[in-house]
Chain A
């Protein structure tokens, strides 16, 4: 899929050029500062949300974004159980039908590559809202926007990605985006069982992004500008014993804050379980709730770009 200035589908982070990202973020800034100026931009347009996997946050964020732009939304929460998929309909057929009703389709699916398959048959833009362990590009967009918003730059940023890096699609998508910027340094902090996969390490090598793999979070904390925490995803483990062995291994608490730089930020795609102690919430470096709010503005900018 060629993406220059024209944006058709949003499938994976790699498709975004640096200039497209900068345009999107400039628009997100405008929307964040003066949201009322964008009311009614998408009057009369309809967004369909097809969620084959549970999500509250992502779905509400997309729906709020569409409604704040004046558009309307429809969707199904449990597409796998309640839609025709339960009767055996293929994803492709569902997309063909729904793209006749809607102007844009947001899809979350349990299978990697599902969004690409949807885009191949859709007559309207497809937005990937997570495809199994594959990617979650709009989360990566809002993550990168948050870094820029909080630290005023992306070039030269030092980022620690912490937790379940094998199954975490948000860290995969974010890493792809980071590799488009200059002088980025990445620390992968994970137990070996859920370490970052080799394909992404090879991608960073290709783009000359230096990375370090370690299990020692405390040693990394004083070095970085961004600490990106992730949840160890129980639902992606087939062996409960393997999950028990790694859950709760990394936790940001007041001791961690003391090790961190005074301006560095803690991010998390949420929901959190116990990766971040509640007492961290009161510290101004806790950026995860601001990050979640940025999701609305970035998704508004994206829908505006696709549809206006």
Chain B
């Protein structure tokens, strides 16, 4: 698998395929419950794994509500605060959004850490429209926030040390669904 070759030793699995799926169905329930339905929702995934998770989440919500929720994706690269030290990665999908004006946007990402990617994603989003509200759903919250940002929906909180990495494997990329800690 790609990550074993590039990123050190796997220390442990924190979510398997079943846990992953149950987390997403739970988050779908929580989103619908909190927003009293899915009528005004738009799911926006942060490329690239958030993008994939947003599509899956939309599937779970439509199963619950019987109607499709619009899905978009946002590429926060140009809004990052570390462009001077880390050039924009090439080849990632560009932002593509349905109308978000006066909608409730649920941003979706795989892992939240310092919170800087989400800050950039919110800036990128605001440049393209003015949603009524933005909420945040993540599969894993690994702590160590550097900005005042807190997800509304979390699959799993995983306590990590700064020298560990959380890697979210998704079938669409790695042939299996699994969340691992590596060091």
Partners in one complex: yes
Seen from chain A, the residues whose Cβ lies within 8 Å of a Cβ on chain B are 26, 29-30, 32-34, 150-152, 261-263, 284-285
Q: Tell me which residues across on chain A come within 8 A of B18, comparing CB atoms.
A: 284
Query: Are B12's CB and A151's CB within 8 A?
Result: no
Cβ of B23 < 8 Å from any Cβ of A? yes
> Shortest CB–CB separation between residue A13 and chain B, in angstroms?
23
Q: Given A33-B14, A34-B12, answer yes or no on A262-B156 (Cβ-Cβ < 8 Å).
A: no
Q: Tell me which residues across on chain A come within 8 A of B21, comparing CB atoms.
A: 284
Cβ of B22 < 8 Å from any Cβ of A? yes
Nearest-CB residue, chain B, relative to A35: B12
Q: Tell me which residues across on chain A come within 8 A of B155, comparing CB atoms.
A: 152
Query: Are A261's CB and B14's CB within 8 A?
Result: no
A-B contacts, 30 of them at CB < 8 A, read A29-B159, A30-B159, A33-B11, A33-B14, A33-B181, A34-B11, A34-B12, A150-B19, A150-B22, A151-B26, A152-B23, A152-B26, A152-B154, A152-B156, A152-B157, A261-B25, A261-B29, A262-B22, A262-B25, A262-B29, A262-B60, A263-B22, A263-B23, A263-B25, A263-B26, A263-B29, A284-B18, A284-B21, A284-B22, A285-B22
In the complex, which of the residues A34, A152, A285 has the most CB atoms of chain B within 10 Å of its own CB atom? A152
> Shortest CB–CB separation between residue A55 and chain B, in angstroms?
29
For the complex, give the distance between the alpha carbons of A285 and B21 in Å: 11
Top 3 A-B pairs ranked by shortest CB distance? A263-B26, A284-B18, A33-B12
Q: Tell me which residues across on chain A come within 8 A of B181, comparing CB atoms.
A: 33
Chain B residues 125-183 with CB under 8 Å of chain A are 154-157, 159, 181
Interface size class of B (residues with CB under 8 A): 10 to 19
Q: Tell me which residues across on chain A come within 8 A of B60, comparing CB atoms.
A: 262
Nearest-CB residue, chain B, relative to A265: B22
Q: Tell me which residues across on chain B come within 8 A of A152, comparing CB atoms.
A: 23, 26, 154-157
Nearest-CB residue, chain A, relative to B156: A152
> Shortest CB–CB separation between residue B183 and chain A, in angstroms?
10
Q: Tell me which residues across on chain B come within 8 A of A261, comparing CB atoms.
A: 25, 29
Nearest-CB residue, chain A, relative to B155: A152
> Shortest CB–CB separation between residue A260 and chain B, in angstroms?
11
> Shortest CB–CB separation between residue A153 and chain B, in angstroms?
8
For the complex, give the distance between the alpha carbons of A262 and B60 in Å: 10
Q: Tell me which residues across on chain B come within 8 A of A150, comparing CB atoms.
A: 19, 22
In the complex, which of the residues A32, A33, A262 has the most CB atoms of chain B within 10 Å of its own CB atom? A262
> What would 7 more interface pairs be, CB under 8 Å, given A152-B23, A263-B26, A284-B18?
A34-B12, A150-B22, A152-B156, A152-B157, A263-B23, A263-B25, A263-B29
> Shortest CB–CB separation between residue B123 and chain A, in angstroms?
28
> Shortest CB–CB separation between residue A305 and chain B, in angstroms?
17
For the complex, give the distance between the alpha carbons of A285 and B154 in Å: 18
Q: Tell me which residues across on chain B come within 8 A of A33, comparing CB atoms.
A: 11-12, 14, 181
Q: Tell me which residues across on chain B come within 8 A of A32, comparing CB atoms.
A: 12
For the complex, give the distance between the alpha carbons of A151 and B19 in Å: 9
> Shortest CB–CB separation between residue B65 and chain A, in angstroms?
13
Q: Tell me which residues across on chain B come within 8 A of A29, comparing CB atoms.
A: 159
For the complex, give the distance between the alpha carbons of A228 and B36 in Å: 28
Chain B residues 61-76 with CB under 8 Å of chain A are none
> Shortest CB–CB separation between residue A24 and chain B, in angstroms?
13
Nearest-CB residue, chain B, relative to A151: B26
Q: Tell me which residues across on chain B come within 8 A of A262, comparing CB atoms.
A: 22, 25, 29, 60
For the complex, give the distance between the alpha carbons of A151 and B29 in Å: 12
In the complex, which of the residues A30, A261, A263, A285 has the most CB atoms of chain B within 10 Å of its own CB atom? A263
B41-65 contact mask (Cβ, 8 Å, vs A): 1 or 0: 0000000000000000000100000
Nearest-CB residue, chain B, relative to A152: B156
Q: Tell me which residues across on chain A come within 8 A of B25, comparing CB atoms.
A: 261-263
Nearest-CB residue, chain A, relative to B154: A152
Query: Are A26's CB and B159's CB within 8 A?
Result: yes
